[in-house]
Amino acid sequence: MASDGPDHPTPAEPADETFRLHPLTPLALGGRILGALVVLTLFSLAGSKAGQGGGINVTTLAIYGGAAVLLVIRGVIMVAVTRYHLHGGELRIDSGLLAKQSKRVRLNRAQSVDVLQPLAARIFGLAEVKVTTAGTERSSVRLRYLSLPVAQSLRADLLSRSKGGEQGAPEAPERPVVSVPRGQLVRSVLLEMVSWRLLLLLVGPALAVSGHRNGHGAAAGVGVALILWFGLLVVTDIWRRISRLWDYTVTESPDGLRIRHGLLSTSRQTVPPGRIQAILIHQPVAWRLFGWAQVRMNVAGYAGNANSKSTMLLPVADLDYTMALVGWLLGGVDIAAVPLERPPRRAAARAPLWWRAQLAGSDEHVLVARHGLFSRTIDIVPHERTQSVRLTAGPWQRALGLATVHLDSTRGPVRTRAANRDQALARAMLDRQVERAHRARLRAWEPTVSPPR
Amino acid sequence: MEGPFAAPPDHPWSRVSPRLARMRRTELLVVGVPVVVVVTVVLALESVAAGITVAVAVVGVVALVAGWISIGRNLASWGYLERSDDLMVTHGALFKRLTVVPYGRMQLVDVEAGPVKRSFGLVSVKLHTAAATTDAKVCGLTPTVASELRDRLTELGEAHASGL
């Protein structure tokens, strides 16, 4: 609400701006395919040099070349017909050669603005700006590609427009919050591999050894193949995680939280204040020896994008620190001080061992639920972000006099529930949660991010 | 309605139309009875042991009767309640659930009516929030009740709107 009194002159409406994509975009867009085509071409050239059948190679060359040219032409046309207009608090994208398309994004609905640099774009010094809005489908707009400086200033501009500020605002100053040391990242990724899935790794060696002993050559062969295959999977997975989370840095600015990471492809993500719907602190089993934990979040509009990376908030840190960080993000809540209760003993009939680990509780600001016997997860939902509250009970639960309370949040990694409560307590919890959420919404539904500690 | 899934004191549930049970029972008869009959007849013609044929027929009939009864129980389990700040919805006879959706959280209100439902004069109203897991659907409303409910909900939603 901009209530401008007569003595407060209205800030100048942001000027309109129109711009296009960077001319190198087609190369970056087709990066992978073009690269593959070049490699294929080289192979067929090498083949033709090696000997016979030159005619066939001319045909294949023509096909590869044609495909590459078509790809580039498509990209060129796309760049030529796409225009972006910034008009006040609105971003409009006009595209399409024959069928014109116009898409508008109201920037005050933006949930986050990211600058991404996939490897192909990075080679050409280009970057993508991605605006995510709240919505269930097609909720993000991708401007690709722009040159990196343009992308960065556009991000600052979009963010300031999203708050109704002046245009051309310089990048807001930022303060470092936390960054993940490289050594700790590598160790944490390796340790995260330690889980029951490791047992699968034993299948290969077991087959190989027993096959060799008993003289079953085929079984031994399959075993060795399994070892190689699993090894390859594990190594690529480790590599993917490390390169994605490399140099993970979180900073804080008036625009919101800024998250930066990546080794080859880099990503800079900005989450405006108050857009985090729910948070979880997760400890894979092996991390608990070291007291490490990671933090993930629900941000409206994120999860539909299928890449789980954008829901990461902090890949690894000390548990105490993650608790403090989350408390600060939620405006000064002491997560550890929230009293947690476990289900009644009779819940053991439904959740044999892990009933002890199903803790939940709430205070005036947040609801906290902790679960997991080996790997441990703590879900935290601020009351003002609760979407709806549910109480469920199946036949077995009802026979035991138990019920489960669910808190619904936007799509994301955080799924909060207080499982297997005593029925009367569960209903009381539901009613209290409804009441607290109502009061929290009245208080303020856009809490400001307070400066760090 | 028992304990934890009961309506708040002094606020009885609004119930859904009994036509819902009539519709489901019709569906059960139209689909279930022919299936049981055909299976029994085929078994008899294929000269399977008489005992098995009879057993299958009995199981089929028992399943039909159980379905008939559970439809009634399910109908009785539906209830909704418009409170000052939120809508409460409950349903389920075996798997019970109770959902509370604050008006301020509603993103949109859907009124759905398939061809079968329409022919029985029924529609359902579904509330959507920003959460995909919100399970707030009221089945088996008559079109007038549904459109009144939708209008009230939309109005309340606007009055309470609080973004995300």
- DSSP 3-state of A274: coil
pLDDT at A316: 94
Assembly ipTM: 0.87
Whether A9 has a pLDDT exceeding 60, the answer reads: no
Q: Look at A408 and B162 and tell me if their CB atoms are within 8 Å.
A: no
Q: For residue A409, which residues of chain B lie inside 8 Å, CB to CB?
A: 131, 133
CB count, 10 Å around CB of A24? Answer: 17
> Would residue A256 count as lying in a domain?
no
Considering the domain architecture, whether residues A341 and A395 belong to the same structural domain is answered as yes
Considering the domain architecture, whether residues A328 and A436 belong to the same structural domain is answered as yes
Considering the domain architecture, whether residues A228 and A149 belong to the same structural domain is answered as no
- The DSSP-derived string for B83-142 is -SSEEEEEE-SSSEEEEEEEGGG--EEEEE--HHHHHTT-EEEEEE-S-TT--EEEEEE-
Which pLDDT band holds residue A138 (cuts at 50, 70, 90)?
low
Which pLDDT band holds residue A39 (cuts at 50, 70, 90)?
confident
Q: Look at B99 and A388 and tell me if their CB atoms are within 8 Å.
A: yes
Of A134, A398, A438, the CB nearest to B102: A438
Considering the domain architecture, whether residues A156 and A187 belong to the same structural domain is answered as no
Whether B34 has a pLDDT exceeding 80, the answer reads: yes
Hey, which residues does A369 pair with through a beta bridge? A360, A379
pLDDT at A217: 78
CA A72, chain centre distance (Å): 31
Q: Look at A409 and B4 and tell me if their CB atoms are within 8 Å.
A: no
pLDDT one-digit tens code per residue, B35-83: 999 998 998 888 778 888 899 999 999 999 999 999 999 999 999 999 9
Q: Does A443 touch chain B (CB under 8 A)?
A: no
Q: Look at B163 and A430 and tell me if their CB atoms are within 8 Å.
A: no
Domain ranges, ordered by start, for chain B:
19-74, 79-160
Considering the domain architecture, whether residues A79 and A120 belong to the same structural domain is answered as yes
Helical (H) or strand (E) element with A41: helix A31-50
Instruction: Pick the more confident residue, A227 or A417.
Output: A417
Hey, which residues does A269 pair with through a beta bridge? A114, A259
- What is the distance in angstroms between the Cα of A432 and the nearest Cα belonging to chain B? 12
Mean pLDDT, rounded, for B122-141: 87
Domain span at residue A239 reads 182-245
Total length of chain B: 164
Considering the domain architecture, whether residues A153 and A75 belong to the same structural domain is answered as yes
Q: Does A393 touch chain B (CB under 8 A)?
A: yes
CATH code given to domain B79-160:
2.30.29
Q: What is the CATH number of the domain that holds A135?
A: 2.30.29.30
pLDDT at B24: 93
Question: Order of strands, edge to edge, in the sheet holding A359-362?
Answer: A312-318, A292-299, A276-283, A376-382, A366-371, A359-362
Considering the domain architecture, whether residues A361 and A289 belong to the same structural domain is answered as yes
Q: Please name the residues between 76 and 95 in chain B that touch chain A, using a CB distance below 8 Å.
A: 85-86, 94-95
Considering the domain architecture, whether residues A223 and A300 belong to the same structural domain is answered as no
Q: Look at B102 and A392 and tell me if their CB atoms are within 8 Å.
A: no
CB count, 10 Å around CB of B47? Answer: 8
- What is the distance in angstroms between the Cα of B1 and the nearest Cα belonging to chain A? 13
Whether A290 has a pLDDT exceeding 90, the answer reads: yes
Q: Look at B102 and A441 and tell me if their CB atoms are within 8 Å.
A: yes
Question: Order of strands, edge to edge, in the sheet holding A388-393?
Answer: A416-422, A402-408, A388-393, B96-102, B86-91, B79-82
Burial class (CB in 10 A: 0-12, 13-18, 19+), A310: buried
Q: Look at B99 and A430 and tell me if their CB atoms are within 8 Å.
A: no
The pair phi, psi for residue B154, each rounded to 5°, is -60, -45
CA A102/CA A85 separation, integer angstroms: 10
Q: Give Rg (Cα) of chain B.
A: 20
Q: Look at A427 and B4 and tell me if their CB atoms are within 8 Å.
A: yes
pTM of the model: 0.77
Decide: A439 and A449 in contact? Cβ < 8 Å. Answer: no
Whether A52 has a pLDDT exceeding 80, the answer reads: no
pLDDT at B71: 93
Which range (A35-49, A183-197, A404-418) has the least confidence? A35-49
Number of domains in chain A: 3
CB count, 10 Å around CB of B37? Answer: 12
Q: How many Cβ contacts (< 8 angstroms) between chains A and B?
A: 93
Q: Does B163 touch chain A (CB under 8 A)?
A: yes
pLDDT one-digit tens code per residue, A180-237: 999 999 999 999 887 777 777 777 778 888 888 887 778 888 888 888 888 888 889 8
Q: Look at A392 and B96 and tell me if their CB atoms are within 8 Å.
A: yes
Burial class (CB in 10 A: 0-12, 13-18, 19+), B31: exposed
Pairing of strands A416-422, A126-133: unpaired
Q: Which residues contact A316 (CB under 8 A, 6 or more apart)?
A: A180, A184, A185, A188, A287, A292, A293, A294
| Closest C-alpha to A386, from B27, B38, B164 | B164
Of B3, B85, B131, the CB nearest to A388: B131
> Would residue A154 count as lying in a domain?
yes
Of A136, A395, A434, the CB nearest to B100: A434
Considering the domain architecture, whether residues A128 and A192 belong to the same structural domain is answered as no
Burial class (CB in 10 A: 0-12, 13-18, 19+), A190: middle
Query: What percentage of chain A exceeds 90 in pLDDT?
Result: 30
CA A180/CA A334 separation, integer angstroms: 23
CA B38/CA B31 separation, integer angstroms: 11
> Would residue A63 count as lying in a domain?
yes
pLDDT one-digit tens code per residue, A232-278: 888 898 999 999 999 999 998 887 888 999 898 888 888 877 788 89
Mean pLDDT, rounded, for A333-348: 92
Considering the domain architecture, whether residues A76 and A192 belong to the same structural domain is answered as no
Q: Look at A403 and B100 and tell me if their CB atoms are within 8 Å.
A: no
pLDDT at A382: 92
Q: Does A83 touch chain B (CB under 8 A)?
A: no
Considering the domain architecture, whether residues A125 and A200 belong to the same structural domain is answered as no
DSSP conformational letter for A341? B
Q: Look at A424 and B85 and tell me if their CB atoms are within 8 Å.
A: no
Decide: A384 and A443 in contact? Cβ < 8 Å. Answer: yes
Q: For residue A381, which residues of chain B lie inside 8 Å, CB to CB?
A: none
> Would residue A168 count as lying in a domain?
no
Q: Which residues contact A143 (CB under 8 A, 6 or more apart)?
A: A21, A84, A93, A128, A129, A130, A131, A151, A154
Considering the domain architecture, whether residues A226 and A285 belong to the same structural domain is answered as no
